[in-house]
């Protein structure tokens, strides 16, 4: 069908919709004054190829609801017209209910709030680029790929974003460099090729923002928080020599794809009400799809309980579905609610979900007691000078109000200033309401000169400004307290921290990294992969300060996410025709499960244990092996549609979201047969058989044999046990059958299936839970 006839057809449809809408309006919308708030009217896939026609359609619909074009213009915030169709507008409750009944509307939801998931790491995972010159001969480093970053913006002056070695901007690029406060077109270059900012959703949630109250924000793509600058440079920062944070972690900083271009989408803000709204995030996805990015890194998300993948309250799932359908790989953080199980977010099967791990670098700082005994903690901030032999005391000994337990963890105003003056104070963290930074403020305000903070294990170090503070575990804290109690005049000295590499077993799953299984779709193993996310050094807004050298440490799955996004860009640059699912498969099936000590990677939650697939998915990312995976598991958009069918959604509701014509097929074991590079059976009653399909991307002629690590209490059979590829046969299917030998409901058990041709080891993690009840 040609464009003119298609547009004529849709114009007739629009006329019908508007006429229908008027009937709804006349009977549904009250005339009394009522408070309005932002709602997202989601309409699924776009009906026009021309974005302007889609925008006009939205305005006509809203005009019919509100009674005039002027009212519609004042109400609408965004028109989503590139990757999908819909709009964000200020609506009363009754108006929202009325427009939800309009033909073509999938759903109407209130605007929600999302939270951010907040050098050496590349060497640690095997990319040894000592300089840009030696690196260029090894790989393309993501040359030509475009990474979109939906985050808090960017600090363009950072040396990580210089473009001296960058190639030309790809001709397919359609993005722009939007100007704004302290950000003009010259802030973009061949590295930062586009920058947009989205404020309408968050602005509507609070009326004080534009007056500049309680915020240092910039009304532009400039980053006031630092989170976006950090993630962007982790993904695609160029080589920077002598990078460090106040002398710590000194070395060459760079991103995973130093020659990839960056496209910045600022949808998250430094405002008290929250960081990111649904309306702004969805518009960022819409523009990124239009602009032509290859990869999206999204370090933010919801918290549990999770919404359905066709529920528009999860705009990341919806936006990423449309992006994936256009061939854009979307990488998201898993969340920072660990180590509790079932806390993982961003679990849609078309998203690459990333957990966080440690690296082999630490920053030990010595605490030398008056009895000449030296104990060790960690710190990234011990002040301008070391603290030499001063008085040492325990916080409860100098409590302002002795019956008050607030002094134990040094809560605000709890210490006696006379007794704290000139001393190092030991505090014990016992409350979720207190941390080392807040405790350091309390001690400093009371006149103390240093802090030793004992707490339960929690990965990641925080800055205490220029105030000396050292974090220790409870064992070390108790030893220091024992010394204080036994000494008449206890004293101590605090040393500067040092950078030590290779002395700590690693990687280890970060304590904060959210864990699986998915509470929404346990047949899809999440996370997919794990990557470094603890004490990551990357670019940060300097704001005129030279103390940080333009770099900072941050921890979170927000930091592990861009590690993976950078490698995705490199894979995409090498294999431009690979789908997002193929790229995910390459990462998952080549990941490793052993640490530097040769043992299985561990995770530290309530107890120390071996990490399982709910902690690290396929394992820890191995970028070098991911470039040559041997076999890949691919998934089409239609496969995802059938997966949604298997979750109980009707064909009609799915068609509204995807605008596909395919009806749901009733297939046995459909949820288990999504061609994922992992196998998850959360409810094995007796027997089950799953099917997988692999494509050979290695040597044309190859024979792969199956190696199975069987989960405890389960019998596993693979048919066939050998896969033979040649020039005529590059795609083969196989079945994996499971038989439970258990007679009761059990816990999850873990195993794996590995296909190997002697060179490649294509590993698929297996998780099974029996249920004989």
Angle at 227 between CA 438 and CA 191, to 5 degrees: 155
Q: 752 - beta bridge partners?
A: 709, 765
Terminus-to-terminus CA distance in the chain, angstroms? Answer: 55
Whether 227 is catalytic: yes
Candidates 82, 227, 322, 620; catalytic one: 227
DSSP state of 410: T
| Active-site choice (558, 585, 653, 678) | 558
User: Which of 131-165 are b and which e, b meaning 16 or more Cβ less than 10 Å from the residue's Cβ?
Assistant: ebeebeeebbbbbbbbbbbbbbbbbbebbbbbbeb
Q: How many residues does the chain have?
A: 773
Is 409 in the active site? no
Residue 565 vs residues 78, 250, 570, 615: alpha-carbon distances, Å = 28, 24, 9, 19
d(CA 235, CA 253): 11
At which residue do the structure tokens 């913006």 appear? Answer: 153
Nearest to residue 177, comparing CAs of 107, 283, 266?
266
Instruction: Name the H helices within 416-535.
Output: 417-420, 436-445, 474-486
Could you tell me which residues are beta bridge partners of residue 651?
none
Task: Please work out, in degrees rounded to the nearest 5, the angle formed at the alpha carbon of residue 103 by the alpha carbons of 102 and 107.
Answer: 65
Closest CA to 440 of 431, 432, 429: 429
| Separation of alpha carbons 738 and 440, rounded Å | 55
* 163 is a catalytic site residue: no
The 3 state secondary structure assigned to 193-207 is: EEEEECCHHHHHHCC
The token pair at 742 is: 């258990």
Catalytic residue chosen out of the listed positions 63, 64, 82, 151: 151
Residue 115, phi then psi, degrees to nearest 5: -110, 150
Torsion angle, alpha carbons of 287, 291, 292, 295, to 10: -50
* Pairing outcome for strands 679-684 and 761-770: parallel
Q: How far is CA 114 from CA 99, 224, 267, in A?
A: 25, 18, 10
Single out the residue of 288, 179, 270, 185 nearest to residue 223, CA to CA: 270
Is the four-CA dihedral 395, 396, 397, 401 of positive or negative sign?
positive
Nearest to 436 by CA among 452, 412, 414, 416: 452
Q: In terms of Cα–Cα distance, which of 141, 361, 139 is closest to 254?
A: 141
Catalytic residue ranges: 151, 227, 558
């Amino acid at each position: 069908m040609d464009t003119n006839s298609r547009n004529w057809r849709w114009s007739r449809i629009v006329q019908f919709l508007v006429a229908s809408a008027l009937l709804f309006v006349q009977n549904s919308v009250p005339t009394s004054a009522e408070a309005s708030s932002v709602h997202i009217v989601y309409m699924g896939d776009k009906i026009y190829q021309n974005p302007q026609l889609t925008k006009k359609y939205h305005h006509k619909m809203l005009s019919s609801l509100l009674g005039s074009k002027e009212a519609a213009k004042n109400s609408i915030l965004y028109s989503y017209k590139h990757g999908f169709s819909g709009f964000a507008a200020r609506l009363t409750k009754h108006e929202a209910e009325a427009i939800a009944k309009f033909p073509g509307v999938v759903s109407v939801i209130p605007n929600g709030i999302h939270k951010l998931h907040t050098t050496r790491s590349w060497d640690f995972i095997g990319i040894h680029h000592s300089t840009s010159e030696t690196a260029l001969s090894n790989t393309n480093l993501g040359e030509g790929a475009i990474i979109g970053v939906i985050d808090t913006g960017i600090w363009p002056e950072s040396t990580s974003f210089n473009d001296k070695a960058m190639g030309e901007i790809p001709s397919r690029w359609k993005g722009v460099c939007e100007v704004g406060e302290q950000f003009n077109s010259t802030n973009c270059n061949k590295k930062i090729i586009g920058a947009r900012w989205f404020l309408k959703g968050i602005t509507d949630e609070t009326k004080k923002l534009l007056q500049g109250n309680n915020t240092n924000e910039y009304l532009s793509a400039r980053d006031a928080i630092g989170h976006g600058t950090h993630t962007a440079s982790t993904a695609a920062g160029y080589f920077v020599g002598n990078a460090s944070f106040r002398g710590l972690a000194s070395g060459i900083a760079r991103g995973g794809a130093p020659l990839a271009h960056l496209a910045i989408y600022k949808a998250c803000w430094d405002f008290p009400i929250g960081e990111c709204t649904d309306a702004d995030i969805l518009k960022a996805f819409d523009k990124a799809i239009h602009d032509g990015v290859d990869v999206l890194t999204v370090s933010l998300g919801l918290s549990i309980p999770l919404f359905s993948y066709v529920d528009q309250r999860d705009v990341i799932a919806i936006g990423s579905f449309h992006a994936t359908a256009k061939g854009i790989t979307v990488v998201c953080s898993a969340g920072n609610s660990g180590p509790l199980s079932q806390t993982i977010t961003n679990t849609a099967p078309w998203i690459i979900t990333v957990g966080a791990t440690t690296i082999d670098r630490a920053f030990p700082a010595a605490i030398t007691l008056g009895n000449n005994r030296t104990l060790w903690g960690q710190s990234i901030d011990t002040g301008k000078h070391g603290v030499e032999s001063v008085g040492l005391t325990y916080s409860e000994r100098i409590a302002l109000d002795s019956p008050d337990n607030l002094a134990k963890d040094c809560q605000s105003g709890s210490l006696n200033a006379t007794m704290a003056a000139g001393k190092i104070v030991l505090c014990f963290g016992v409350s979720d309401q207190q941390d080392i930074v807040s405790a350091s403020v309390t001690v400093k305000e009371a006149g103390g000169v240093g802090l030793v903070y004992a707490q339960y294990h929690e990965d990641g170090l925080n800055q205490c400004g220029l105030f000396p503070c050292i974090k220790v575990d409870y064992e070390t804290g108790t030893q220091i307290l024992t010394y204080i109690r036994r000494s008449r005049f206890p004293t101590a000295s605090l040393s500067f921290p040092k950078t030590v590499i290779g002395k700590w077993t690693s990687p280890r799953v970060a304590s904060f990294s959210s864990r699986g299984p998915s509470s929404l779709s346990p047949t899809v193993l999440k996370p997919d992969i794990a990557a470094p996310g603890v004490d990551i050094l990357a670019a940060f807004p300097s704001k005129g300060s030279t103390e940080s050298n333009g770099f900072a440490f941050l921890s979170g799955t927000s930091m592990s996410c861009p590690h993976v996004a950078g490698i995705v860009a490199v894979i995409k640059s090498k294999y431009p025709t690979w789908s997002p699912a193929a790229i995910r498969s390459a990462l998952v099936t080549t990941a490793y499960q052993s640490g530097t000590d040769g043992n299985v990677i561990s995770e530290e939650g309530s107890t120390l244990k071996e990490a399982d697939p709910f902690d690290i998915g396929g394992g820890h990312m191995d970028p070098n092996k991911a470039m040559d995976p041997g076999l890949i598991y691919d998934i089409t958009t239609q496969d995802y549609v059938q997966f949604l069918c298997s979750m109980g959604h009707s064909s009609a509701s799915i068609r509204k979201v995807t605008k596909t014509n395919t009806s749901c097929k009733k297939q046995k074991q459909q949820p288990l047969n999504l061609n994922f590079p992992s196998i998850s059976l959360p409810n094995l009653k007796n027997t089950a058989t799953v099917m997988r399909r692999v494509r050979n991307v290695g040597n044309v002629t190859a024979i792969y044999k199956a190696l199975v690590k069987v989960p405890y209490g389960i019998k596993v059979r693979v048919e066939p046990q050998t896969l033979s590829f040649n020039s005529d046969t590059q795609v083969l299917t196989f079945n994996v059958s499971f038989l439970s030998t258990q007679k009761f409901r059990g816990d999850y058990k873990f195993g794996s299936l590995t296909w190997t041709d002697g060179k490649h080891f294509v590993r698929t993690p297996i998780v099974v839970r029996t249920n004989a009840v």
